[in-house]
Amino acid sequence: MLLPLLLKTPQSRVVTVASRAHLAALNGITWESLEQVTRSRFGITEYAVSKLANILFASELARRHASQGLLSYSLHPGVIKTEVWRHAPWWAQPLFALRRMKTPLEGAQTTLHCVLHASPEQNGLYFSNCQPRTPGDHASNPLLARQLWERSVAWTKDF
């Protein structure tokens, strides 16, 4: 729905917020699991897979539409000190309190970098701390990215 407009607009950018948590998707993406309810106790495994999917989506979007001028980036904003941590298990909250977290303003910097400064030569890349980074092996798998794209198209064809 939005893609045709993005392709008509010169130098359109799609910036996808992912996470370093994608590294916890140790088995990559198992297609069957995407169609099931959350099975892990706190949803951490499912969160990791969703962040992996974000990176794969951004790289595949760039691969498919770079020749049309569409720019696509994914990023890890850092661990941000927000109210989301109040939902963490009680036993994990002291661990988060000890960790140096970014403020929301600090956490926005990589997103802003991708929106305002990332170059066309960096199209499809994953960023952290305003720098291109190499994501995990599963996130660097072009076949997995292509499969995710094709399945997503099939899953959403009626919308």
Residues labelled as active-site residues = 47
Q: What is the DSSP annotation of 48-72? A: HHHHHHHHHHHHHHHHHHGGGT-EE
Amino acid type, 72: S
Confirm if 128 and 122 have CB atoms less than 8 A apart. Answer: no
Query: How many angstroms from the chain centroid is the CA of residue 148?
Result: 13
